[in-house]
Amino acid sequence: MDSGFAKRAIMRMDNYDYTQAGPYFLTICLYNKQQLLGRITGQSGLTHTPAGRMIHQVWMNMPRYNPGLVLDEFIVMPDHFHAIIGFVDPKIWRAHWPATTDCEVDSLESLDAKQLHVSDIVRRFKNQTIKQYKKGVEQEGWPPYSRQLWQRGFWDRIIRNERDLQNHREYIYNNVAAKHLDQFKQDPQVQQKSQ
């Protein structure tokens, strides 16, 4: 029976185990391309808002609460986020992120029971940043977001080899300059400022 609703495309690769070590290239976008995380300030400049700095900090702390998660390159752009992640055995991970309190030990042991999945990482990241953003709106006067903070879902690419990994790292390194060129082509005011 047809419900009348459009079917949402599944963005994950069929029959692929997304708990494999990776690496994976992720893109997570703000809803409706809201420019809440920063602004491009020149060909290679990016100035983050307090919300953009919060996104950066939450991402840096993700391995602490996700045993086995390894972060590679990432960038917080004004309206989206790119990252490369991978997974390792939690025993190896523990050598880099030892628990410092009894509460952390209990918390990390409960997380160890579940194998990490790319979708789990993105969901946890989004949930944490939404909480922090709401707090920033209430306590710090950050601009409220329209309807929701993050666009539903995310994009991923399974990185196949070292060359592919290097290409994705370079994409991240060059993302600010590429965004500046897009703005330059589309906005006459940006063209005038740079002349």
Amino acid (one-letter) located at 161: N
Compute the C-alpha angle 52/118/165, nearest 5°: 80
Residue ranges with strand state E in 17-154: 24-29, 38-42, 45-48, 69-76, 80-87
> Can you tell me the mean pLDDT for 71-87?
94
Query: Looking at the predicted structure, is the pLDDT value of residue 172 above 70?
Result: yes
Confidence at residue 68, expressed as pLDDT on a 0 to 100 scale = 82
Confidence at residue 44, expressed as pLDDT on a 0 to 100 scale = 63
> Can you tell me the mean pLDDT for 54-83?
93
Confidence at residue 34, expressed as pLDDT on a 0 to 100 scale = 96
User: In the structure, what pLDDT confidence band is assigned to residue 67 with cuts at 50, 70 and 90?
Assistant: confident
Question: Was domain 24-100+112-194 assigned CATH 3.30.70.1290?
Answer: yes
Rounded to whole angstroms, the Cα distance separating 34 from 57 reads: 20
For 76, phi and psi rounded to 5 degrees? -100, 110
Share of the chain above pLDDT 70, in %: 65
- 131 vs 70, more confident: 131
Rounded to whole angstroms, the Cα distance separating 75 from 73 reads: 7
Tokens 């995310």 — which residue? 154
pTM: 0.74
Q: Range with the lowest mean pLDDT among 48-52, 53-57, 76-80, 156-160?
A: 156-160
Tokens representing residue 185 in the block: 């082509």
Looking at the DSSP bridge assignments, the partners of residue 83 are 26, 74
Share of the chain above pLDDT 90, in %: 51
Confidence at residue 98, expressed as pLDDT on a 0 to 100 scale = 55
Confidence at residue 116, expressed as pLDDT on a 0 to 100 scale = 78
Is the sign of the CA dihedral 119, 123, 124, 125 positive or negative? positive
Confidence at residue 106, expressed as pLDDT on a 0 to 100 scale = 54
Rounded to whole angstroms, the Cα distance separating 124 from 69 reads: 12
